[in-house]
Amino acid sequence: HRTIGIIGTGNFAQAFACRLLQSGYDVILGSRKPTERMVSNTHDCWCNISITTVDECIKNSNTIVVAIHNKHWRDTLSPFVELLKDKIIIDVSNKKCLTKGPSNAEQLQKLLSHSLVVKAFNVVSAYDMESQTSGGSHNVYIASDNFVARNTVADLVRDLGFTPKDYGVLWNARKIEKMPLQLFPEWKFPIGFTFLVFIIWYLYAIFIYFVEKTSYSWEQIFVKVTNKPLCMTAFTILACTYLPSSIAAIFQIYNGSKHVRFPGWLDTWLRTRKQLGLTAFTLAFVHVIMSILIMSPTYLKSWYHETEIVIPKNITSDLHFPIRTWMTWKGEAACLAGIIAFLGLCILAVTSIKSVGDQLNWREWRCIQSKLGHGVLLLSLCHVVVMGSPYWIKAGPLKTFRSITFLSSVLPMITLFLKLCFSLPFISGYVKRIRHGWE
Amino acid sequence: HRTIGIIGTGNFAQAFACRLLQSGYDVILGSRKPTERMVSNTHDCWCNISITTVDECIKNSNTIVVAIHNKHWRDTLSPFVELLKDKIIIDVSNKKCLTKGPSNAEQLQKLLSHSLVVKAFNVVSAYDMESQTSGGSHNVYIASDNFVARNTVADLVRDLGFTPKDYGVLWNARKIEKMPLQLFPEWKFPIGFTFLVFIIWYLYAIFIYFVEKTSYSWEQIFVKVTNKPLCMTAFTILACTYLPSSIAAIFQIYNGSKHVRFPGWLDTWLRTRKQLGLTAFTLAFVHVIMSILIMSPTYLKSWYHETEIVIPKNITSDLHFPIRTWMTWKGEAACLAGIIAFLGLCILAVTSIKSVGDQLNWREWRCIQSKLGHGVLLLSLCHVVVMGSPYWIKAGPLKTFRSITFLSSVLPMITLFLKLCFSLPFISGYVKRIRHGWE
Amino acid sequence: HRTIGIIGTGNFAQAFACRLLQSGYDVILGSRKPTERMVSNTHDCWCNISITTVDECIKNSNTIVVAIHNKHWRDTLSPFVELLKDKIIIDVSNKKCLTKGPSNAEQLQKLLSHSLVVKAFNVVSAYDMESQTSGGSHNVYIASDNFVARNTVADLVRDLGFTPKDYGVLWNARKIEKMPLQLFPEWKFPIGFTFLVFIIWYLYAIFIYFVEKTSYSWEQIFVKVTNKPLCMTAFTILACTYLPSSIAAIFQIYNGSKHVRFPGWLDTWLRTRKQLGLTAFTLAFVHVIMSILIMSPTYLKSWYHETEIVIPKNITSDLHFPIRTWMTWKGEAACLAGIIAFLGLCILAVTSIKSVGDQLNWREWRCIQSKLGHGVLLLSLCHVVVMGSPYWIKAGPLKTFRSITFLSSVLPMITLFLKLCFSLPFISGYVKRIRHGWE
Ligand SMILES: Cc1cc2nc3c(=O)[nH]c(=O)nc-3n(C[C@H](O)[C@H](O)[C@H](O)COP(=O)(O)OP(=O)(O)OC[C@H]3O[C@@H](n4cnc5c(N)ncnc54)[C@H](O)[C@@H]3O)c2cc1C
Ligand SMILES: Cc1cc2nc3c(=O)[nH]c(=O)nc-3n(C[C@H](O)[C@H](O)[C@H](O)COP(=O)(O)OP(=O)(O)OC[C@H]3O[C@@H](n4cnc5c(N)ncnc54)[C@H](O)[C@@H]3O)c2cc1C
Ligand SMILES: Cc1cc2nc3c(=O)[nH]c(=O)nc-3n(C[C@H](O)[C@H](O)[C@H](O)COP(=O)(O)OP(=O)(O)OC[C@H]3O[C@@H](n4cnc5c(N)ncnc54)[C@H](O)[C@@H]3O)c2cc1C
Ligand SMILES: NC(=O)c1ccc[n+]([C@@H]2O[C@H](COP(=O)([O-])OP(=O)(O)OC[C@H]3O[C@@H](n4cnc5c(N)ncnc54)[C@H](OP(=O)(O)O)[C@@H]3O)[C@@H](O)[C@H]2O)c1
Ligand SMILES: NC(=O)c1ccc[n+]([C@@H]2O[C@H](COP(=O)([O-])OP(=O)(O)OC[C@H]3O[C@@H](n4cnc5c(N)ncnc54)[C@H](OP(=O)(O)O)[C@@H]3O)[C@@H](O)[C@H]2O)c1
Ligand SMILES: NC(=O)c1ccc[n+]([C@@H]2O[C@H](COP(=O)([O-])OP(=O)(O)OC[C@H]3O[C@@H](n4cnc5c(N)ncnc54)[C@H](OP(=O)(O)O)[C@@H]3O)[C@@H](O)[C@H]2O)c1
Ligand SMILES: CCCCCCCCCCCCCCCC(=O)OC[C@H](COP(=O)(O)O)OC(=O)CCCCCCCCCCCCCCC
Ligand SMILES: CCCCCCCCCCCCCCCC(=O)OC[C@H](COP(=O)(O)O)OC(=O)CCCCCCCCCCCCCCC
Ligand SMILES: CCCCCCCCCCCCCCCC(=O)OC[C@H](COP(=O)(O)O)OC(=O)CCCCCCCCCCCCCCC
Ligand code: HEM
Ligand code: HEM
Ligand code: HEM
């Protein structure tokens, strides 16, 4: 049995000690005021704990966890620099907020330049550590400049029931310390943007359906009306997922080089395509459920044959009216296109799951994400054009241009058109040459 | 090429030998009666195999797999303790049933105290090893007190096409030997409980719809009637997923300490929240499909406007009856709430997939599991209240209390109410202090 | 900071250099014509790059990446065999097409027999390496005969933001070099087969519905008619997933041994069951959506009670016609069976995700894949039999045999019947004995 020393007796120190004891380690807590820190006897695991001074704690253990806030490190640890020499020091600290510059762990390594500082356990909360009833990720990221220390701590991590993830040299502690501070950073832009698009389409739909002329009753606002801006947003966002790669190509052609950096907005856009795509998928998913719920001749007049029953003034014989709700070819064809598009989206979404995507090689992944992706966009366009074209033909260009079906198709059309251009042998060869290297 | 010795010539030994040969290793089988064990020539991979005595087998190889049942270990291996010194011994044995105390591997290490015993391969079945056509997990868990032996075996595991998972010291063989014996241990309680709840709600629904007054025909038992107890169960189980954390808080306040152990039932309950949640999701999923299938004014009278056609006695002119199936505001609003709740559940379910959850840090995970989870519960409540409230207002308290909509909402309401209480600054601060540490 | 040398200045070399620089490494490019290779100043990361002769490059670095095509290796590297002694050589090359025999890496090791050749990075594309905006798998597979070299490169891989996957000895480079060349090899057979089955059923459905007698209008071709061959294909493919294990058992009984190799077609069939199963699931998924969309008495006459309104010749009082679309018991029961079958399929599909399946032990996995799988097949059969049996009884054996419901059930019935046979104690015991070992 190995002995682990913990400096500090706070929230994290207690939880960590508890977990260590349960896994069969010996623990020594080092406190400023060891006598004041009463040990509760109510909890089973506290019987074998010993609370001593920091000095004692360091002397009696080769692996030491620093569980005090980093602002107190200098005061607390400076006297023991010599004593800590060649020992493994585990830094569990977190920053309060995102800052640039060296990580806590690097600062600690500087302070204790002859110790083997290892960054670990900062991503685990004290609550998680203690209550074995809570879920969440069980990864612990490890960084250290010393290979052996890293492996020793990895073994410790495993013994405590977590999964070690080796992050290499201590420099990477910068990344590790960033982790617990983030809250979906890469989702902010796509969700904000989606919201904006949704609002705009919603207002337009309300204008068309309620302001301009009253097509629907306000009762229909929840599903029937909401469904419209929803699917338009899904469609727009899907187009936005596949647009930036063409814009990037335009930039590269314009600069004649791949070594010129993209402007910030394009870079962000390119980076958040995964999130945009998943958002489009989610909206399409909701659209599918909503559409299925309202699938009836009342809600979708033009998708079905006439359902009216006409009773003549003079009834000369018994009349039989079977209630008929056949779809027209337009309804069925639009459904089919929609279904296949949705299936494609599902497959795209499934391959976004890391453990599925990791089974695919680069060619396979691009075949699904890029080829199938554009296929889905095309099919969605068919879905909308089939729906809209009879009206477009009837209504003439002016009305067509203002129609929801047409407006929502503009961006996808542009996206597909650009993609087509960049697939032409001439242009694609040129782009390839630029992407290949030296100007 | 390395040589691997296998003691035993049984089912596992044959399969393992076959796999080793295919991966380019040399194999020596050690048997009690080497001459009797005929080698079949029909199978390609058997040409290079040699079957010798156990003695020979051990002498000629540095890595030895013990593929005989553990009750025969003492008889078979005792004579060779000296010969096995410093060699890597792979223990592949499984227990017949769950027992307490030291693992087989630890017992083997005791018997062969100077050998490097490694636990491995016990989770792989002989069938799986041999037939490369069968699927399933390809993880092989490894434990050993010797770091180098562990790594050597890990390399062997990789060469055979499996994925090694390092479990640290040999003590962990206890966990590894437990693995193949379990059959969904953590699902037993949630599924049993769900079943019970379902039966109770089913009986109540039958009482209301068939016994008290005949609302439906028995024909409707399969979907229309089953849908009711199903969604009520989903709702109840969802509430049960989020209830225990409040009960735990009450316990902690009552004890004034976090170091008092929770009673067994609460502990089990807290531990199976993931399974309860997934069960609720699965039931909700079935509920959604069923509801969509019966989405019509006939099945859901109060969700739709009146669809009756009235033909007057005297027809004075042609009558036109368009068939109209508009939903009322209640129907549409309930649908919307239900859809959003279901979407939330889908996102919760997706983050339960390990490789998705592992991408999230602790804050993000809690944001989805805890905040979104309670949001889903609230939305489901809206879904039900929108559905029920018009009736509640009309029917008065007595009938309301007996109504299915109200009864199914009681537990969720309690859950949300408790959560609200523990979120109030005053109480939440107090609970936080208790959870922070020393009494 | 370590220095990495790269031989070659092509597409891959540039991208790799860029990534190395960004991760804080020093890079030396070795070129045949170092002076001609101008360094662009537009891109930030190129300032610290130095381009020298191959000779200089090798002298100044201990880890060398060979980023030239393998046909030029002999010319370029032969002069430097001595200089490269004991250095780590990273081989990033890919083959043009699948070939048998030694891998590139093994050939390089033979050429540089005193260097430590490591296969790595070949699965990463230059584009992926450079543009940090693109997604896809981030695994890098590593193979080398030298343990230390492997670990060093694994650290490098990590520092560049990829995930190292250790594949053991250099022999495995054969597998690694195969990876980027494949395009869904294991999906070809199942998808081709599915297509064939679909075409056959489609033609039969068209024959029945349009040729023999006109049951539907051509308008219904997109959803109503397509739905039929689709679900029949799903059902057939599902049966085909569970059929081969029985055929394998028959083979083993016939041969009286498990050591006889299965014929090629059976082997392929057994190996692609996962893909067949997922295809069946996907088709069933589309079937479910389509069925839900057409869920109405018009489309599914026999599933609903009569909806006809009959107006008598002489109307003597006001007539009230509530529009009623109740399902019959047959409709509801078929729905229920279908829903449960689909739920089972969903669970089967979820456990195919690697990170979910890996949580299950072998017993659990078989319980879901084999038991639940056969359960799903049985339930699907119920779904179809409930649908078909009223007609079968009415129409007599001749018409029954030609009916779609019956025809689609034949293969599943055979599959289930065989499974039942092999579960009988007598036969199953015999098969088990054969599977246990020596003839
Ligand atoms: C579809 C679905 C899937 C699910 N999947 C999972 C799953 O994969 N894994 C899983 O575990 N559960 C899962 N669940 C169950 C459930 O969502 C989670 O258990 C959830 O975390 C419960 O949240 P809670 O707020 O009730 O409890 P907790 O998160 O346990 O919180 C309980 C209390 O402790 C407090 N607390 C939490 N952390 C701290 C801390 N560090 N310090 C002090 N106090 C703290 C909170 O404020 C709260 O009051 C799933 C549920 C559903 C519906
Ligand atoms: C949606 C879906 C997803 C699927 N996903 C997957 C997947 O991810 N991976 C996959 O492989 N398949 C998958 N499948 C296919 C299928 O479910 C499995 O291949 C399944 O295991 C087949 O079961 P089986 O009983 O027919 O055959 P097997 O499990 O191969 O069994 C064949 C015979 O061998 C016997 N046997 C099995 N083990 C032993 C043993 N140890 N000793 C002696 N005899 C033994 C059995 O008794 C049985 O008679 C999927 C199918 C579907 C529908
Ligand atoms: C449901 C859903 C899920 C999604 N999930 C993900 C996800 O998990 N991860 C993700 O990143 N995106 C995801 N996306 C977004 C999107 O599918 C991908 O980003 C997709 O790769 C974009 O393809 P592209 O062809 O537009 O761009 P890119 O693949 O970036 O290609 C852009 C251009 O570069 C060229 N090019 C590509 N590779 C090379 C090369 N090696 N050398 C030279 N030129 C090259 C191409 O020819 C193309 O012209 C998802 C989308 C959806 C709808
Ligand atoms: N809590 C978590 O969930 C969590 C999660 C991950 C990482 N961490 C990290 O763990 C470290 C400790 O966090 P914590 O939550 O345990 O903090 P805490 O509860 O406030 O405990 C801090 C401890 O530091 C000791 N200490 C030493 N010198 C001190 C000084 N000058 N002033 C105040 N205290 C001093 C104190 O113990 P004595 O009085 O006995 O000396 C005190 O108990 C932090 O770096 C934090 O970032 C915490
Ligand atoms: N089968 C599996 O799927 C599987 C999976 C995981 C782990 N395991 C483990 O592998 C081990 C072997 O299992 P198995 O299924 O291969 O068993 P088995 O088929 O019964 O073989 C046991 C072998 O042990 C040898 N043996 C040596 N001394 C013996 C004695 N006194 N009495 C009987 N046999 C003796 C026999 O070989 P000789 O007669 O030639 O000496 C016999 O062939 C067990 O520990 C088991 O838990 C098996
Ligand atoms: N591109 C990718 O996406 C990718 C991905 C994975 C692996 N790889 C592998 O990386 C290696 C290089 O690929 P690459 O795409 O970078 O190729 P490339 O762009 O054609 O570059 C090849 C480089 O090799 C050098 N070279 C040395 N001797 C040569 C000779 N006799 N003839 C021609 N060139 C010679 C040249 O540099 P100097 O003229 O300066 O000497 C040239 O720039 C290949 O083995 C490839 O399989 C590439
Ligand atoms: C609706 C669901 C989804 C619907 C339909 C789409 C699913 C598509 C299934 C096909 C998946 C193809 C993946 C191709 C990539 C590939 O080759 O993937 C490659 C790997 C192959 O792995 P191997 O190399 O181990 O064989 O495949 C996988 O890992 C397959 C994972 C499939 C997971 C399906 C999960 C579906 C979850 C559905 C939940 C329930 C949905 C409910 C609906 C109402
Ligand atoms: C219905 C399906 C599901 C429906 C809708 C819900 C899906 C929700 C999609 C949004 C997912 C958000 C995840 C947020 C967590 C996160 O940030 O996740 C974080 C990681 C981010 O990873 P990176 O750090 O690599 O960017 O994201 C993922 O890994 C995304 C995985 C998404 C997987 C979606 C799988 C859906 C499977 C659907 C099958 C088919 C359904 C068919 C329906 C009929
Ligand atoms: C439709 C969706 C799917 C529908 C219903 C089926 C889902 C079934 C959920 C139950 C899953 C049981 C898994 C049993 C295996 C097991 O024990 O699994 C074992 C592990 C247990 O892990 P632990 O050991 O960590 O507890 O469980 C998991 O990892 C659970 C993963 C569940 C993932 C569900 C993902 C669903 C994705 C749905 C997407 C949206 C669908 C939208 C629909 C329209
Ligand atoms: C199962 C699959 C699908 C079905 C059944 C379906 C059904 C419908 C229905 C019924 C409408 C008409 C809504 C109305 O007029 O109120 C509609 C419109 C629309 N759908 Fe779908 N859809 C499906 C998939 C998709 C997908 C995957 C997309 C792509 C994002 C999509 C995009 C759209 C768009 C943009 C419209 C608006 C057209 C307009 O301007 O009126 N649909 N869909
Ligand atoms: C797409 C989403 C959903 C739709 C379309 C939907 C639809 C319906 C319908 C039609 C009913 C009435 C059933 C009947 O009276 O026979 C119903 C009832 C109910 N739903 Fe949903 N639902 C959805 C999601 C959910 C979710 C996620 C939950 C939460 C668990 C839920 C819980 C309930 C409950 C508890 C009832 C019973 C109310 C009662 O007592 O009558 N629903 N739902
Ligand atoms: C939610 C689940 C399901 C629903 C609502 C459903 C609904 C239907 C409907 C409405 C039909 C009649 C189609 C028509 O006559 O045009 C049908 C037929 C059929 N379904 Fe399903 N189904 C479900 C799940 C499944 C599953 C999982 C399978 C299995 C693969 C399956 C296999 C079949 C087959 C083979 C037929 C053709 C029967 C025939 O010959 O007419 N279904 N289903």
pLDDT tens, C149-169?
Answer: 998 999 899 888 898 998 888
Query: Does the beta carbon of B124 lie under 8 angstroms from any beta carbon of chain C?
Result: yes
The complex's ipTM works out to: 0.94
Q: Are strands C309-311 and A319-321 parallel, antiparallel or unpaired?
A: antiparallel
Helical ranges in B86-184 per DSSP H: 104-111, 126-130, 147-159, 173-178
Query: Does the beta carbon of C180 lie under 8 angstroms from any beta carbon of chain A?
Result: yes
pLDDT in tens, C187-218: 999 999 999 999 999 999 999 999 998 888 99
Q: Which residues of B touch C438 (CB under 8 A)?
A: 9, 14, 37-38, 40
Residue A105 structure tokens? 């762990």
Q: How far is the alpha carbon of A358 from chain B, nearest alpha carbon, in Å?
A: 11
What pLDDT does residue A260 have? 79
CA B188 to chain centre: 10
With contact defined as beta carbons under 8 Å apart, do C326 and B224 qualify?
no
Q: Whose CA is nearest to atom 28 of ligand 12?
A: C380
From the list C135, C299, C310, the residue facing A274 with the nearest CB is C135
Query: Does the beta carbon of B23 lie under 8 angstroms from any beta carbon of chain C?
Result: no
Of A349, A347, A234, A206, residue with least CA distance to A291: A234
Average pLDDT over every residue of C350-374: 94
Alpha carbon distance, N-terminus to C-terminus of chain C:
62
Of A48, A54, A40, residue with least CA distance to A5: A54
User: Which positions ≥6 away from B371 have C-beta within 8 Å?
Assistant: none
Query: Does the beta carbon of B290 lie under 8 angstroms from any beta carbon of chain C?
Result: yes
pTM of this prediction?
0.94
What pLDDT does residue C48 have? 66
On the 0-12 / 13-18 / 19+ scale of CB atoms within 10 A, C424 is exposed
CB of A52 shorter than 6 A to ligand 4: no
Q: Are strands C309-311 and C319-321 parallel, antiparallel or unpaired?
A: unpaired
With contact defined as beta carbons under 8 Å apart, do A295 and A305 qualify?
no
User: Which positions ≥6 away from B386 have C-beta within 8 Å?
Assistant: B330, B333, B334, B337
- Give the Å distance between the CA of B323 and the centre of ligand 12: 28
Query: Rounded to whole angstroms, how far apart are CA atoms B209 and B333?
Result: 25
CB of B309 shorter than 6 A to ligand 8: no
* Helical pair C224-242 and C185-206, crossing angle rounded to 10 deg: 130
State how far the alpha carbon of C94 is from the alpha carbons of C6, C12, C34, C163, C180, in Å.
16, 11, 25, 19, 8
- Give the Å distance between the CA of B384 and the centre of ligand 11: 7
What pLDDT does residue C439 have? 46
Query: Rounded to whole angstroms, how far apart are CA atoms B263 and B403?
Result: 34
Instruction: Report the residue among C281, C289, C356 best suited for mutation to probe ligand 9: largest number of ligand atoms under 8 A from its CB.
Output: C356
- pLDDT tops 90 at residue C308: no
pLDDT in tens, A174-197: 999 999 999 999 999 999 999 999
pLDDT in tens, B107-157: 999 999 999 999 999 999 888 888 777 777 889 999 999 888 998 999 899
- pLDDT greater at residue A323 or residue A123: A123
Strand order in the sheet with B26-31: B50-53, B26-31, B3-7, B63-66, B88-91, B116-119, B139-144, B163-166
Write the secondary structure of B310-330 as one string of H (helix), E (strand) and C (coil).
EECCCCCCCEEECCCCCECHH
Query: Does the beta carbon of B324 lie under 8 angstroms from any beta carbon of chain C?
Result: no
Average pLDDT over every residue of C386-392: 94
- pLDDT tops 70 at residue B10: yes
What pLDDT does residue A439 have? 46
CB of A347 shorter than 6 A to ligand 7: yes
What pLDDT does residue A53 have? 93
Query: Rounded to whole angstroms, how far apart are CA atoms C359 and B30?
Result: 34
Q: Whose CA is nearest to atom 29 of ligand 5?
A: B72
Using CB atoms and an 8 Å cut-off, which of residues 238-267 of chain C contact chain A?
Answer: none
Strands of B58-138, DSSP E? 63-66, 88-91, 116-119
Residue C435 structure tokens? 């599977």
With contact defined as beta carbons under 8 Å apart, do C225 and C205 qualify?
yes
CB of A283 shorter than 6 A to ligand 8: no
State how far the alpha carbon of A314 is from the alpha carbons of A308, B317, C313, C314, C315, in Å.
18, 8, 9, 10, 11
Calculate the average pLDDT of chain A: 91
What percent of chain A is modeled with pLDDT above 90? Answer: 69
**Across the interface, do B308 and C321 touch by the CB < 8 Å criterion?**
yes
DSSP line for A212-267: IS--S-GGGGTTHHHHHHHHHHHHHHHHHHHSHHHHHHHHHHHHT-S-SPPPHHHH
B143 bridge partner residues: B119
**Across the interface, do A327 and C223 touch by the CB < 8 Å criterion?**
yes
Q: Whose CA is nearest to atom 41 of ligand 8?
A: A346
Q: Whose CA is nearest to atom 14 of ligand 11?
A: B228
Average pLDDT over every residue of B411-424: 97
Query: Does the beta carbon of A323 lie under 8 angstroms from any beta carbon of chain C?
Result: yes
Residue A88 structure tokens? 């493994």
CB of C59 shorter than 6 A to ligand 2: no
What pLDDT does residue A77 have? 94
With contact defined as beta carbons under 8 Å apart, do C409 and C367 qualify?
no
Would you tell me how many other CB atoms lie within 10 Å of the CB of residue C31? Answer: 20
For A56-70, B163-177, B363-377, which range has the lowest pLDDT when averaged over its residues? B163-177
From the list B261, B328, B355, the residue facing A355 with the nearest CB is B355
Instruction: Report the residue among A215, A303, A387, A399 best suited for mutation to probe ligand 10: largest number of ligand atoms under 8 A from its CB.
Output: A387
pLDDT in tens, A231-248: 999 999 999 999 999 999
With contact defined as beta carbons under 8 Å apart, do B90 and B143 qualify?
no
C neighbour chains, 3+ CB pairs within 8 Å: A, B
Q: Which residues of C touch B312 (CB under 8 A)?
A: 318
pLDDT in tens, C125-148: 888 888 777 777 889 999 999 888
**Across the interface, do A310 and B320 touch by the CB < 8 Å criterion?**
yes
Residue bearing tokens 């800590």: A84
Calculate the average pLDDT of chain C: 91
- pLDDT tops 80 at residue B76: yes
Interface test with A, best of B167, B302, B335 (most A CBs within 10 A): B335
What pLDDT does residue C148 have? 87
Q: Which residues of C touch A379 (CB under 8 A)?
A: none
- Give the Å distance between the CA of B234 and the centre of ligand 8: 22
Query: Rounded to whole angstroms, how far apart are CA atoms B70 and B92?
Result: 10
- pLDDT tops 80 at residue A46: no
DSSP line for A367-385: IIIIIIHHHHHHHHHHHHH
